[in-house]
Structures are given as structure tokens and as C-alpha cells.
Amino acid sequence: MSNPIPLAARILKVNHAGEQGAVSIYAGQILMARLTAKGLVAQLESFKSHEERHRAIFLAELTRRGVRRCKSYWLCAIGGYGLGVLTGLLGARAIAQTTLAVERVVLRHLQQQMVQLKDDAAALAAVVAIIGEEQEHHDLAAGHVQTGGPWARLLETTVSAATESVIWLGMRI
């Protein structure tokens, strides 16, 4: 059975929920980084403010279209906060590895969305508006990640799979 909500609206809903997840990840990481990675707190606060702005961009577009937020919104919020607290407890490398894993998935999806949304200028503009900052988060996190062993690969694989799963679920509910 196909989803009756237009593709652009589903993408915007999932992106909005994903931005809530990102805000929550950073909130949890900031809380714990005050103990485990003080040198990253300012950067995490900056990233969180970017994600709050991204969330507002998608919310504004959903509101303009009269579309309700994604059913996965609270899953993203709660799961993101838990992930943020856990990786924040593990320290700077885990924080950076998590950001890198999430942003790799997000950037790949945003690139796909630019093609999918070519006929919807407003939705495309919302996606394009956030790509630069998402790329910045990726690149700065990559600078903190050292070539990892099995633990780093496990964390990256787990976070990437969880991110992909939430996006997949959000597009279907």
C-alpha cells in the first residue's frame, strides 16, 4: 500500500524529526561533555544551535503546507538524547565518531533529496539551506576522529544503522 502523503511532505517531516534527533544528541553530549570532553562543549553548543535552526526551517515549511510533524519525532528526540548521553560519557572520540557517522548518513540522504525534490522549489530550498552546516559538522568531527580500531568501527556502524533505520521508519509511518 502506498503512502498517500506526497514525497516532498514525507521528506520534510522526516528531516524535521531528524533535526530534533540531532538537537537531542547534542543536548545529551553537552551535558556529559562538561565532565568528559570540556574542550568540545563550545563546538557542540554551536552544532546544537545549527540543528535548532534547521529544525525551525523544516517546521516552517511543514506549517506552510499544513502538514503535521512526523510520528517518529519523539522517537528521534528520546533516542537521540540517550545516544548523546551515552556517547558523551564515553568521551571526545565517541562524540566525534557519533557526529561523523550521523552526518555521513544525513549528507547522503540530503544529496538524494536534492534530486527527488527538483520539482518542489520550497522543499528543495529547505534542504539546500542546511547542507553547508551539516557538511561543516561532518568535517570538524572528522578532524577529531583518529583511525579507529574495532570499537570505533562498531560505534560508527551501530550509529549509522540506527540513523538509517529511523529515516526508513519515518518515511513509512
| Sequence ranges of the domains in the chain | 7-168
pLDDT score of 2 more than 60: no
pLDDT tens across 21-67, in order?
Answer: 999 999 999 999 999 999 999 999 999 999 999 999 999 999 999 99
Task: Compute the residue count for the chain.
Answer: 173
pLDDT score of 171 more than 70: yes
pTM for this entry:
0.92
1 — pLDDT class (breaks 50, 70, 90): very low
pLDDT score of 145 more than 80: no
Q: State the average pLDDT for the chain.
A: 93
Could you give the count of Cα atoms lying within 13 Å of 39 in the half-sphere of its Cβ? 6
142 — pLDDT class (breaks 50, 70, 90): confident
pLDDT tens across 100-117, in order?
Answer: 999 999 999 999 999 999
**In terms of CATH architecture, what is 7-168?**
Up-down Bundle (1.20)
| Residue of 123, 105, 115 whose CA lies nearest to 57 | 123
Q: Is the dihedral of CA 9, 108, 158, 93 positive or negative?
A: negative
Per the listing, cell 503535521 goes with 68
Helices (H), the chain: 7-36, 41-65, 73-90, 92-116, 121-144, 150-172
Neighbours of 98 (CB within 10 A): 27
